[in-house]
Structure formats: C-alpha cells, structure tokens
C-alpha cells in the first residue's frame, strides 16, 4: 500500500470527480475563459456546500467572490432555505463585473455581490450584521487583520471558514522564495492566532489548499 500523499490526493480527486456537480464546477471555471481567476478547488467547493446544508445559516458573508465558485456552491447548499442570503464582497472591478454576468447566467438571487473593499465595508456601521457563516478567501497576508474584525460579525455558534491556509504548501517549506516571505509569515501568524483563540473551537483540514473551521463559543 502506498503512503505517498500525492497518490492519496489523486485517489481522492478521482472519487470527487464522479460527483455530478463536477460538471457545474467546470462550467463556472470556464465561464469567460479570458478571465484568469483563482478558484477554490472542487473538494473545497463541495465542503462549503455541505457545511451550508448542515448549518442551515440565515446570513452568510463571503470575503472574496473571485471566480464565483464558492458563492455558487454555498448557494447550492441553501436549497429550500429561501430566506438565506449570501453577501459576497469583491474589490476587483473586473471580477465584480464578471461575477454579475455569471449570477445572471444561473439566475441566482441568493447572492448579493458587492464591489467593495472588505475592510471599508466592515468598518461601516450600517453594514454590521451577525452572520451564521463567514467564508474568508481574500489576500492571505490580510487574514491576520481580518480576525478581530470578523469575530464581531459572527453570532454565537457561528462558523468561520478560511481557505488557503497552506498557501500551496509554502507554510511548511524550509526555504520560502523572497517574494512570498512576508505573505507566508503573516499567514503563519493567522493560523497560529486562530489555533490559540479562546473565542473559537478551531480545526484545520487538509482539504483543497487547506481550510480552517472555527466555531464561535
């Protein structure tokens, strides 16, 4: 039996590709191919959808709409919970415009896409709301600055899910390329702070590019 992690990963990916939603995932990725936008990996997208199915949140906040994969998969998890609303923040204007087109394509009305810098949006008193679920998928070097802010946005027993906590494995490398050093160090600080934060029960998972799941006490 092989103990090679890449073999295990390939095996899991093959199983996940049997999921009928794999076609939906690739449709989103392929939408307007001239836009090269990073997207959550398929196993992460399925994880998000299943978490929404389990939690049955009423209010979801996403920081970083990006390609739209994560928001659309979370929306797929809403199903009959028609009162649930996803607010997704995207500061990049081109991604925001593309996002509106893809939401129109799938006639999705559960997602409110807003073109805004998340820090400015979250500092506005008019936008303060208690969320049942927050998905953080922004600039990794900013994660540590988001933590104290988002904590106030999550209701009791609410969930914070963070993507890319492994930074494509760079957080465990002995020698980090110079251009990534600052971002990697800040991400390590975030992971460490989250693991020790007494206000959360946090678990870390090797799903996609690594995710953390934090439940507010």
Q: pLDDT digit of tens for each residue in the chain (217 aa)?
A: 445 767 888 888 899 889 999 999 999 999 877 677 889 999 999 999 999 999 999 999 999 999 999 999 999 999 765 678 999 999 999 999 999 999 999 999 899 999 999 999 999 887 777 899 999 999 999 999 999 999 999 999 999 999 999 998 899 988 888 888 999 999 999 999 999 999 999 999 999 999 999 999 9
Q: Which residues pair with 113 in a beta bridge?
A: 88
Q: Where are the domains of the chain?
A: 5-216
Contacts with 128 (C-beta within 8 Å, 6 or more apart), sequence order: 152, 153
CATH 3.40.50.970 at 5-216, yes or no = no
168 within 8 A of 209, measured Cβ to Cβ:
yes
57 within 8 A of 82, measured Cβ to Cβ:
no
């Amino acid at each position: 039996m092989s103990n090679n992690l890449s073999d295990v990963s390939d095996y899991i990916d093959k199983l996940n590709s049997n999921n009928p939603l794999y076609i939906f995932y690739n449709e989103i990725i392929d939408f307007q191919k001239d836009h090269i936008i990073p997207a959550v990996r398929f196993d992460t997208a399925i994880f998000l959808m299943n978490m929404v199915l389990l939690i049955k949140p009423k209010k979801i906040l996403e920081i970083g709409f990006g390609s739209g994969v994560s928001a659309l998969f979370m929306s797929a998890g809403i199903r009959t919970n028609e009162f649930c609303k996803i607010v997704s923040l995207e500061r990049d204007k081109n991604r925001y415009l593309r996002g509106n087109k893809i939401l129109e394509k799938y006639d999705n009305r559960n997602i409110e896409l807003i073109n805004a810098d998340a820090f400015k949006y979250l500092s506005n008193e008019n936008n303060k709301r208690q969320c049942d679920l927050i998905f953080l998928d922004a600039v990794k070097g900013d994660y540590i600055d988001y933590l104290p802010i988002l904590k106030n946005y999550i209701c009791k027993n609410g969930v914070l899910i963070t993507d890319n906590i492994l930074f494509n494995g760079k957080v465990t490398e002995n020698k980090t390329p110079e251009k990534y050093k600052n971002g990697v160090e800040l991400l390590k600080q975030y992971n460490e702070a989250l693991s020790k934060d007494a206000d959360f029960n946090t678990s870390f998972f090797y799903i996609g590019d690594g995710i953390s799941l934090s439940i507010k006490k």
